[in-house]
Amino acid sequence: MGIPDEQIYPYATAAAAKTVAKHQEPQNLVFYSGWFCPFAQRAWISLEERGIPYQYNEINPYKKEPHFLAINPKGLVPAVEYKGKALYESLILCEFFEDAFPNYKPNLLPLDPVDRALARIWLDHITKTFIPSIHRLLQVQEASKQAEALQDLYQSIRKLTDNIKGPYFFGEKFSLVDIAVAPWIVRDWVVEEHRGYKRIDASPKWKEYAELVEKRDSVVNTSSLREHQIEIYGRYLRDEAQSEAAKAIRAGRVIP
Ligand SMILES: N[C@@H](CCC(=O)N[C@@H](CS)C(=O)NCC(=O)O)C(=O)O
């Protein structure tokens, strides 16, 4: 018997469906994605930003099908197959695209070594504070714990926002730091509608930044309809989700 999370709408919709349709031809790079997945969207935005040729392959990672486990033993999207080798982990894939496709522009990591290290410092901040607090905010049920998670989220956002050069994190150039948060910006309506989050309460600069990031073509073109997402988020909001991330948050562990 499968888990309830298996019951997800099977395909991308809206602008994301058009992007999927444009990427059906076989290519050296096969992108295993889930239309609903914020981690997969990071890799997808990177591919779209740089115009890298890829073949899109929709996966329901909750089914843990053997053919997919052979690609990613963790059974998580995103993953890629490139020249017969399998790779996974969203931010590692984004960096892999930089390394394996140097001629596809623009680069999404700065070229200057100091800025490159700074980008990684902020990616680490996003991984360790922003994502865990937004997922805790979704899942915790007690009002006091929700209030705590909301304040943790605002604090994480403010630290990031204080370092945004504007309009994007590194100035005019859209980068991997922007990509790392973009999928949660386009999904923050869930915590706004159900957990009292407001962009402006994090900071006015965050609100301005979020409004810019969510309009970026690569972000819009990899986003699906909200109506299919709410079914998935309903399980998180009731703390019923059985995804690996949901189980980790519930147990106070690091998201795998
Ligand atoms: N750390 C991973 C997280 C990926 C992840 O959690 N993906 C989810 C979908 S959004 C998944 O595949 N879940 C399947 C499961 O939990 O069984 C990354 O950054 O790629």
Angle, CA 147 vertex, CA 183 and CA 232 arms, to 5° = 40
Predicted pLDDT of residue 97: 98
From first to last of the 256 residues of the chain, give the pLDDT tens digit: 467 778 899 999 999 999 999 999 999 999 999 999 999 999 999 999 999 999 999 999 999 999 999 999 999 999 999 999 999 999 999 999 999 999 999 999 999 999 999 999 999 999 999 999 999 999 999 999 999 999 999 999 999 999 999 999 999 999 999 999 999 999 999 999 999 999 999 999 999 999 999 999 999 999 999 999 998 999 999 999 999 999 999 999 999 9
Q: What residues flank ligand 1, with Cβ below 6 Å?
A: 34, 37-39, 61-62, 75-78, 89-90, 243-245, 256
Closest ligand 1 atom to Cα of 34: 9
Residue 2 confidence (pLDDT): 64
Q: What is the 3-state secondary structure (H, E, C) of 125-184?
A: HHHHHHHHHHHHHHHCCCHHHHHHHHHHHHHHHHHHHCCCCCCECCECCCCHHHHHHHHH
* pLDDT value for 35: 98
> What is the residue with the minimal CA distance to atom 5 of ligand 1?
76
Q: How far is CA 127 from CA 19, 108, 141, 144, 156, in A?
A: 27, 18, 23, 24, 11
- Dist. CA 37–CA 33, nearest whole Å: 8
Residue whose entry in the numeric block shows the structure tokens 């490139």? 82
Helix (H, G, I), strand (E, B) or coil at 57: strand
Looking at residue 7, its pLDDT comes to: 84
State the pLDDT at residue 56: 98
How many Å lie between the centroid of ligand 1 and the Cα of residue 181? 15
Q: Which helix (H) or strand (E) holds 235?
A: helix 226-237
Q: Which atom of ligand 1 is nearest to the CA of 243?
A: 16
Q: Active-site positions? A: 37
